[in-house]
Amino acid sequence: MVNLDRRVVLVTGGTGSFGQKFTEIVLRRWRPKKLIIFSRDELKQHEMRKRFPDTGDSPMRYFLGDVRDPERLQRAFHGVEIVIHAAALKQVPACEYNPFEAVLTNILGAKYVIDAAIDQGVQQVLAISTDKAVNPINLYGATKLCAEKLFVHGNFYVGEGRTRFSCARYGNVIGSRGSVIPAFLEQRQRGRITVTDQRMTRFWLRLEQGVEFVLTCLAMMRGGEVFVPKIPSMRIVDVAKALDPTCEIAYTGIRPGEKLHEVLIAEDEARNAVEYDDFFAILPWYHDLRPPMPPDGGRPCPDGFRYSSETNPRWLSAEELREMIGVAAMEPAEEER
């Protein structure tokens, strides 16, 4: 496990769900020299500051800025040792309707983070990615795929420097902003939950699991890997039924840019992937970027391997889902029954 005591850590998009949970866990376990929250929303920083004050001997720092602004990133990264890049435009419909904005934040923002990290001598940069980057059919997934490639191949630009770039790619986060679960909870109050297709499946993990995985990646990364956790799947309709088995479910049809099933590792990627007990590591295509793996490095994935939410060997039960997000909040009130 990585040790963040006396380290200087910066999180882009740090006021989001991931950044808030990351901050909570890091401050509980370690005493970093600085934990810098870099984001563009002063209101969210103000609210986060109430929970994690930056007064007294606190390591917290709040830095207003946008990943689209290369000069601001250069200033923010000065003296930083570790960067977690979580800033992105993430809503699929919003990215489809505002495509240039998605490109500016998710792709050019990635370039500017890479440039600033190299120029300022950051040691490690770990970018947060998504299953939608695999065989993308919507703009959000396409921008995240491009961002992944930039971070992997950004290691070519380092030269004799010490900066190393890797990615952590995982699925839907339970309880995060924009998750389908809060929408289902709101809909169930009206006695009717909408699901696009009863066959649809997704990968799921808790926010805490996402943070723990990122911390594991920081300890494992050598530069150029895309790390993928082993996480369970669940049908979307079963998620709805777990939240309220008495609710009516209406099927509305698949939305533009939506898949029936998500993939975390495609067949072509699997040729360069190695498997560990709890995760996979996809190694770079180019051997010049191949990192030296630890002595207990993983097992090569078999030919034709594909890690899909549809064929995943691990599935969540309704009881497990309710336990993950709190049983009391999920059970319908007596009058709703």
Q: Is residue 153 part of a domain?
A: yes
SS3 sequence, 253-289? Answer: CCCCCCCCCCEEECHHHHCCEEECCCEEEECCCCHHH
Of the candidates 138, 72, 140, 131, the residue with the CA atom closest to the CA atom of residue 106: 140
Predicted confidence at residue 324, as pLDDT, reads 83
**Which is catalytic among the residues 21, 44, 132, 259?**
132
The answer to whether 43 touches 13, Cβ cutoff 8 Å, is: no
Predicted confidence at residue 293, as pLDDT, reads 61
Q: Is residue 268 part of a domain?
A: yes
Q: Is residue 147 part of a domain?
A: yes
Number of domains in the chain: 1
Bridge-based pairing of strands 124-130 and 164-170 is: parallel
pLDDT band at 334 (very low <50, low <70, confident <90, very high): very low
What is the rounded CA–CA span in Å between residue 185 and residue 231?
23
- CATH number assigned to the domain comprising residue 111: 3.40.50.720
Q: Is residue 258 part of a domain?
A: no
What is the rounded CA–CA span in Å between residue 123 and residue 291?
15
* Residues 195-219 pLDDT 10s: 999 999 999 999 999 999 999 999 9
Range of the domain at 283: 8-172+204-230+264-308
More confident residue, 292 or 45: 45
The answer, yes or no, to whether residue 291 has pLDDT greater than 90, is: no
Q: Is residue 64 part of a domain?
A: yes
Q: Is residue 139 part of a domain?
A: yes
* Residues 171-198 pLDDT 10s: 999 867 667 888 888 888 888 999 999 9
Of the candidates 135, 36, 140, 23, the residue with the CA atom closest to the CA atom of residue 80: 36
Known catalytic membership, residue 33:
no
**For the chain, what percent of residues have pLDDT higher than 90?**
78
What is the rounded CA–CA span in Å between residue 237 and residue 218?
35
> What is the C-alpha R_g of the chain?
20
Question: What's the mean per-residue pLDDT of the chain?
Answer: 92
The answer, yes or no, to whether residue 141 has pLDDT greater than 80, is: yes
The answer, yes or no, to whether residue 290 has pLDDT greater than 70, is: no
* Residues 225-252 pLDDT 10s: 999 999 999 999 999 999 888 889 999 9
| pLDDT, average across residues 66-91 | 97
Bridge-based pairing of strands 226-229 and 279-282 is: antiparallel
CA distances (Å), origin 323, targets 132, 236, 277, 313, 316: 26, 17, 24, 20, 11
